[in-house]
Amino acid sequence: MERLQKVIARAGVASRRKAEELIKEGRVKVNGTVVKELGVKVSSSDRVEVNEIQIEKEEPVYFLLYKPRGVISSVSDDKGRKVVTDFFSEFKERIFPVGRLDYDTSGLLLLTNDGEFANLLMHPRNEIEKVYVAKTKGIPQRENIRKLEKGIKLEDGKTAPAKVKVLSVDKKKQTAIVEISIHEGRNRQVRRMFEAIGHEVVKLKRERYAFLTLNGLKAGEARELTRHEVKQLRTLANDVSKKNS
């Protein structure tokens, strides 16, 4: 038996908080009866409807994908371009990406059918660390690296402090390889941060998400997260959330 709002969130219909609102508004039925109380628990045999549509209860699945460049972080694309779920055509579960990576950005991306888990990881308050490696046009000077580290002003507000390390430079080609660690998830954030200090990012890869890495995977390959890894991610996000609340 599980709480109704958790079952709705796990089905990918809404976050747990939104599911609670739907229940209170009388938009959820269990076995044909409207339920407005948040403490109700349901089993796998119960019929749950949201807005008169029966939800499909699936076993939660969790994947780590090495997303190649030139792939959309979505479940579909109106232009017919390749999307991340195309790499999981053999699975019957309706999975979706946790956050996104830009079309031209490669690297580590999580996918799941567990809406509650996805919302937990994506909430800005939970500060999940994401590590990227960027190849830049031009070689960032120390003063500009410090700006990134302290937080830099973008059109949608100042970024949180970042960890930045110049891994290598090519003076002949005037390029640099820079590692940057952030915990926010704004659109094109890393590229915009480097643009703000006058350096275009010509190649970008997410190499780590929390404690997860791409070890053993090639571009386009994926693996299931272990139960222990899923538990670790939940614990990490909840611990940080409590610390910041």
102 is catalytic: yes
CA separation, residue 155 to residues 32, 65, 234 (Å): 49, 31, 32
Among the listed residues 77, 78, 102, 239, the single catalytic one is 102
The length of the chain is 245
Looking at the annotation, which residues are catalytic? 102
